[in-house]
């Protein structure tokens, strides 16, 4: 049986609803720490992308590219 786009949308909404409910139950401290964790995770994924995009970059050049991209968000 093939999954329909409608089923995927319903499942995605259910997942979102669960995440929203979990966030509502978090204390301010938990929310603050979760934000930091999400930022670090986003940086890790971005670094993976930078390494794939620029395989010849040194680690310092990769970090500089990450900083450049973060500066674009300001």
Mark the ranges of the chain whose per-residue pLDDT is less than 50: none
Residue 22 phi/psi, 5° resolution?
A: -60, -40
Using an 8 Å Cβ cutoff, are 60 and 71 in contact? no
Q: Residue 1 has what pLDDT? A: 78
Q: How far is CA 36 from CA 6, 10, 11, 31, 51, in A?
A: 34, 29, 27, 9, 23
Hey, how many other C-beta atoms are within 10 angstroms of the C-beta on 1?
Answer: 4
User: Model-level pTM greater than 0.85?
Assistant: no
Q: Residue 10 has what pLDDT? A: 95
């Amino acid at each position: 049986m093939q999954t329909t786009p409608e089923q995927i949308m319903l499942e995605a909404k259910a997942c979102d609803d669960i995440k929203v409910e979990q966030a509502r139950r978090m204390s301010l401290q938990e929310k603050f720490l979760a934000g930091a964790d999400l930022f670090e995770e986003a940086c890790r994924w971005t670094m993976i992308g930078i390494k794939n995009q620029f395989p010849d970059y040194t680690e310092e050049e990769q970090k500089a590219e990450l900083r450049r991209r973060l500066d674009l968000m300001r």
